[in-house]
A and B are shown apart, each in its own frame.
Chain A
Amino acid sequence: MEQISCQVLVVGAGPGGYVAAIRAAQLGLDTIIVEGDRAGGTCLIRGCIPSKAIIHAAERFESLKEHQGGHMGLKVDGDVSIDMPALVDWKDKIVEKLNKGVEALLKANGARLVSGWATFLDGKTCNVTDSDGNKVAHITTENVILATGSKPIELPFMPFDEENIISSTGALDLEELPEKIAVIGGGYIGLELGCALRKLGVEITVVEGLDTVVSIFDAEIRRPLERWLKKNKVKVHTNCLAQGAEISGNAVELSWKNKDGDLVSETFDKVLVTVGRKANTTGWGLEEMGVKMDESGRFVAVDSQCKTNMRGIYAIGDLNGEPLLAHKASAQGEMVAEIIAGKKRAFEPVAIPAIVFTEPEIVSVGMTPDEATAAGENIIVGKFPLAANGRALTLEAEKTGGFVRVVARESDQLILGVQAVGSHVAELSGAFVLALEMGAVLEDIAGTIHAHPTMTEAFHEGVLKTLGHAIHTM
């Protein structure tokens, strides 16, 4: 067993941990990063990246099928078929490429990756064991960055077997397409996967406990998605609570209480459970470190510098609370490395963008009109439809009824938030969040020339609309 001592120990090589390790090493700190799985974390191995690959493949399949009947003057003769093992393999190659990339970056920057699972003995010491339980290293460190991430929440009465009852992880590795899937939990993870599977031809039934799907968004933003779900015959049962699942062979009989309180059941090939994620706070000695949890008890309590109550112990990313987003984790990882290196930093972003890759895509940056009003702001709001954007039409991105919506303060026209819904709008998020971080007022965006023909013009026009003088809409 190797004895290692270092200045910075990072636990978990997800988008928070690996970024923290690279930055710490760049700053000349002697850095060790411990990861039991492949480097890359949920995001890269079983989250953002593989799901986007499958979503893209599903889009391609859907459009190929559209061309079977002839579309745009393009016609596909014969069958369009799906080879799931090949699709999964294509997706795995992307993941592998990025995984190797992360490992190479760690190495190139001088952060050493130790393979194995860390178990803390106290706040500054841990053992690392391999998957067979053999101790491979004993590490003592001056600073610890905890970046252990999160995992899907399991329903106690229908635990994941990844065969019949699957998590988002299982949904990304389907070797065979089922005919009928039930999705429990109509949040963004369930609907991203649900939309993709629907495009691949799977019948989808969503069982949601609240009265709407993706309830983090307001009704106006949700509407294009709800329309798509309806048009594509995705059954959505809201105000329904799953009660249990009876597995018989390759079928699952799922029962739930409907909104009238009656128990109903239906048989599916698989049930995908996406009811949220929980921080990985147990099983690796967190309780030995004297670190305080937050009020909910679900996350590690941190201050604006991601410091825990214990000196020299930091918690970043999903482990310290919502939003559970890779880019939040990365930003915090970078910041904590700089704090350890003696720089003055605090995690005080104006906005953390949230993006959902459903059909259509949804972007929300900063405050929605409701949130701004609740915060006491007097606001003006402008909405520009993608149907009036030339580039959107050439991409057929207007078909899902999307728009860009701008929320600004009435008095000084400071942009408080921007939301967009529509095909391909995720790529607009950078412009939105840049506007917010730079403290842009409406005239800043109005006075910026946006290239034609691009969908970014929709942001420009949304701002003009907010100012009351949009050009391309009435």
Chain B
Amino acid sequence: MGIYAFRLPDIGEGVVEGEVVQWHVEVGAEVDEDDALIDVMTDKATVTIPSPVTGKILSTVGKPGEIIAVGAVCIEFEVEGEGNATKSGEPNDEPEAPAEDETPEPASEPVEQPKPAPEPKPVPKPAPEPVSQSQTSIPSSALKGGTGVGGRALASPAVRQRAKDEGIDLSQVSGSGPAGRISHADLDAHNEVGESAGGIQFSQPGEPADGTTEIPIVGLRRKIAEQMTKSYTEIPHFSYFEEVDVTELEALRQWLNVNRTAEQPKLTYLPFIMQALVKLFKEGHHGCNGHYEDEREVLVLHNAVNMGIATTTDRGLYVPVVKNCEAMNIWELGGELRRVAGAARDGTATLSDLTGSTFTITSLGRDGGIGATPIINTPEVGILGVHKAIERPVVVDGKITIRRMMNLSSSWDHRVVDGANGAALVQGLKYLLEHPTQIL
């Protein structure tokens, strides 16, 4: 058994001391090589220092909040074999003088200065590993390119200098040369792709490809193609986006789902949005729930709210319709939505289920996204895209807090709906979704 004195390693360029943030180990603990020992905070980063050896911890120096100098012994291990030191306090284990105002455990005996080395040593010390600006752990051997003398990235002086100039961390560059040597071309490639994480080897590109595959556009696909062309070429679209804080809506939804009866369907966000739209169409936004019959040059506003729900099926895009939303409560909306969407998916939808919509919602929930420009389901005058609700940091009352946020994308037929009208409807929707008790 030997003693291994672990000195706080050089944890970054120019860093001479670090503050102990947290110990991951205590005296007496058995640790394996690479186990986390201690978190040390410098002015550049907080670094988790892994254990260089396997052994038992005999002593530690520095409590959380205290400063340790780089090069100071901070841990003594009992290790198999010889170790690198004798017990603390003996001459070849001179503890670092404590940093100003901080007093680690005093050495048990006075210590001597080490004797000056008789001759200069010709081999340079390995340079410090670069440390990034964030929480980092130092892997014992995790370089991507080849490793040179002293474990540093393998590259010629010109390549190293260019990396410095361009702020490239060579340890993050894959080297294509012998022994993983990094070339100028590797730096070019690195700059082009940015950097993919980890030690990823790019897959080998295949042979140059030839030939084509023809897919006839028939049936529903052709119908969709025609409708889309008509909508997109005839309707001058404009799109409008907003984000909505659905934290409270989510709480309400959860509460309703927990307290629902066996017959009541589990609610998604859509029934709430549908009901909010019903309310808005009735109260001042009637102009958005209509058909523009352009040949007659008449905007036909509907009193019924028949909500088309864009639905992906195995056979393509369908828009089943929930009819007379204005006559349903939230549970009924949820139930009918489920029924028509299910019918569209399994092919049992009736013609009535698939026609007569006055407004359409396309839910992009599962695919997330932050914005889309949905195409209006002609002859309707508007369409609403609903994105996935996710927790995001937002500023509330001057503080950054985590809120569940949902983005809405809408498109409108500018021939009959002006920007102000479309925006007003979306703002109204935002207000209702953020104050969900007013929807019900």
For the complex, give the distance between the alpha carbons of A439 and B150 in Å: 12
Residues of A291-348 whose CB lies within 8 A of B: 292, 295-298, 301, 303-305, 307, 309, 322-325, 343-348
On chain A, the residues within 8 Å of B149 by CB distance are: 350-351, 366-367, 416-417, 436
On chain A, the residues within 8 Å of B148 by CB distance are: 350, 414, 439
On chain B, the residues within 8 Å of A163 by CB distance are: none
Q: 0/1 per residue, B104-144, Cβ < 8 Å to A?
A: 00000000011011111111100110000000000000000
Q: Say yes or no: is A441 at the interface (Cβ < 8 Å to chain B).
A: yes
On chain A, the residues within 8 Å of B119 by CB distance are: 187-188, 214-216, 276
Residues of B160-186 whose CB lies within 8 A of A: 160-161, 164-165, 167, 177-181
Q: Are B13 and A346 in contact (CB under 8 A)?
A: yes
Which of A185, A296, A352, A439 is the one whose CB lies under 8 Å from B124? Answer: A352
Q: Say yes or no: is A437 at the interface (Cβ < 8 Å to chain B).
A: yes
Q: 0/1 per residue, A171-202, Cβ < 8 Å to B?
A: 00000000000000101100000000000000
For the complex, give the distance between the alpha carbons of A343 and B161 in Å: 10
Q: Say yes or no: is A162 at the interface (Cβ < 8 Å to chain B).
A: no
Residues of A352-374 whose CB lies within 8 A of B: 352-354, 364, 366-368, 371
Q: Are A346 and B127 in contact (CB under 8 A)?
A: yes
Which of B96, B116, B154, B180 is the one whose CB lies under 8 Å from A276? Answer: B116
On chain B, the residues within 8 Å of A298 by CB distance are: 116
Q: Which residue of A lies closest to B72 (CB)?
A: A295
Given A416-B149, A443-B178, A344:B124 Cβ within 8 A: no
Which of A346, A375, A439 is the one whose CB lies under 8 Å from B181? Answer: A439
Given A215-B118, A346-B13, A437:B157 Cβ within 8 A: yes
Q: How far is the CB of B68 from chain A (nearest CB, A)?
A: 14
Q: Say yes or no: is A260 at the interface (Cβ < 8 Å to chain B).
A: no
Q: Are A441 and B96 in contact (CB under 8 A)?
A: no
For the complex, give the distance between the alpha carbons of A275 and B118 in Å: 7
Q: How far is the CB of B126 from chain A (nearest CB, A)?
A: 9
Residue with the greatest number of chain A CB neighbours at <10 A, chosen from B114, B120, B156: B120
Q: Say yes or no: is B266 at the interface (Cβ < 8 Å to chain A).
A: no
Q: How far is the CB of B93 from chain A (nearest CB, A)?
A: 13
For the complex, give the distance between the alpha carbons of A416 and B147 in Å: 11
Q: Are A324 and B96 in contact (CB under 8 A)?
A: no
Q: Say yes or no: is A210 at the interface (Cβ < 8 Å to chain B).
A: yes
Given A215-B119, A307-B14, A437-B156, A345:B178 Cβ within 8 A: no
Q: Say yes or no: is A409 at the interface (Cβ < 8 Å to chain B).
A: yes
Interface size class of B (residues with CB under 8 A): 35 or more
Q: Which residue of B lies closest to A355 (CB)?
A: B122
Q: Say yes or no: is A385 at the interface (Cβ < 8 Å to chain B).
A: no
Q: Say yes or no: is B302 at the interface (Cβ < 8 Å to chain A).
A: no
Q: Are A276 and B124 in contact (CB under 8 A)?
A: no
Given A303-B13, A439-B156, A216:B177 Cβ within 8 A: no
Given A216-B121, A354-B122, A345:B155 Cβ within 8 A: no
Q: Say yes or no: is A444 at the interface (Cβ < 8 Å to chain B).
A: yes
On chain B, the residues within 8 Å of A371 by CB distance are: 123
On chain A, the residues within 8 Å of B71 by CB distance are: 295
Residue with the greatest number of chain B CB neighbours at <10 A, chosen from A303, A309, A409, A439: A439
Q: How far is the CB of B359 from chain A (nearest CB, A)?
A: 59
Number of interface residues of A (CB under 8 A): 59
Q: Say yes or no: is B422 at the interface (Cβ < 8 Å to chain A).
A: no
Q: Are B152 and A413 in contact (CB under 8 A)?
A: no
On chain A, the residues within 8 Å of B13 by CB distance are: 303-305, 346
Given A345-B161, A348-B127, A349-B124, A439:B146 Cβ within 8 A: yes
On chain B, the residues within 8 Å of A86 by CB distance are: none
Q: Are B154 and A414 in contact (CB under 8 A)?
A: yes
Q: Say yes or no: is B16 at the interface (Cβ < 8 Å to chain A).
A: yes
Q: Are A185 and B118 in contact (CB under 8 A)?
A: yes
Q: Say yes or no: is A1 at the interface (Cβ < 8 Å to chain B).
A: no
Q: Say yes or no: is A412 at the interface (Cβ < 8 Å to chain B).
A: yes
For the complex, give the distance between the alpha carbons of A443 and B96 in Å: 45
For the complex, give the distance between the alpha carbons of A432 and B297 in Å: 87
Q: Are A409 and B179 in contact (CB under 8 A)?
A: yes
On chain B, the residues within 8 Å of A416 by CB distance are: 149
For the complex, give the distance between the alpha carbons of A173 and B164 in Å: 46
On chain A, the residues within 8 Å of B180 by CB distance are: 412
Q: Are A412 and B178 in contact (CB under 8 A)?
A: yes
Which of B96, B114, B124 is the one whose CB lies under 8 Å from A323? Answer: B124
Q: Are B157 and A303 in contact (CB under 8 A)?
A: no
Q: Are B124 and A346 in contact (CB under 8 A)?
A: no
Q: Say yes or no: is A209 at the interface (Cβ < 8 Å to chain B).
A: yes
Q: Say yes or no: is A451 at the interface (Cβ < 8 Å to chain B).
A: no
On chain B, the residues within 8 Å of A349 by CB distance are: 124
For the complex, give the distance between the alpha carbons of A346 and B14 in Å: 11
Q: Are A296 and B116 in contact (CB under 8 A)?
A: yes
Q: Say yes or no: is A449 at the interface (Cβ < 8 Å to chain B).
A: no
For the complex, give the distance between the alpha carbons of A92 and B146 in Å: 48
For the complex, give the distance between the alpha carbons of A323 and B120 in Å: 5
Q: Say yes or no: is A72 at the interface (Cβ < 8 Å to chain B).
A: no
Which of A292, A295, A414, A417 is the one whose CB lies under 8 Å from B179? Answer: A414
Residues of A421-474 whose CB lies within 8 A of B: 436-439, 441, 443-444
For the complex, give the distance between the alpha carbons of A153 and B117 in Å: 12
The interface of chain A, by Cβ under 8 A from chain B, is 153, 185, 187-188, 209-210, 214-216, 275-278, 292, 295-298, 301, 303-305, 307, 309, 322-325, 343-354, 364, 366-368, 371, 375, 409, 412-414, 416-417, 436-439, 441, 443-444
- Beyond A354-B123, A443-B178, 4 extra complex contacts between A and B, CB < 8 Å: A188-B119, A297-B113, A323-B121, A351-B149
23 contacts between A and B (CB under 8 A): A214-B119, A277-B120, A297-B113, A309-B16, A322-B117, A322-B120, A322-B121, A323-B122, A344-B167, A346-B13, A350-B150, A351-B124, A352-B122, A352-B124, A354-B120, A354-B123, A364-B122, A414-B148, A416-B149, A437-B156, A439-B155, A443-B178, A444-B178
Please list the 9 inter-chain residue pairs (A to B) with the smallest Cβ-Cβ separation, ordered nearest first.
A354-B122, A412-B179, A303-B14, A323-B120, A187-B119, A439-B154, A414-B179, A439-B181, A441-B178
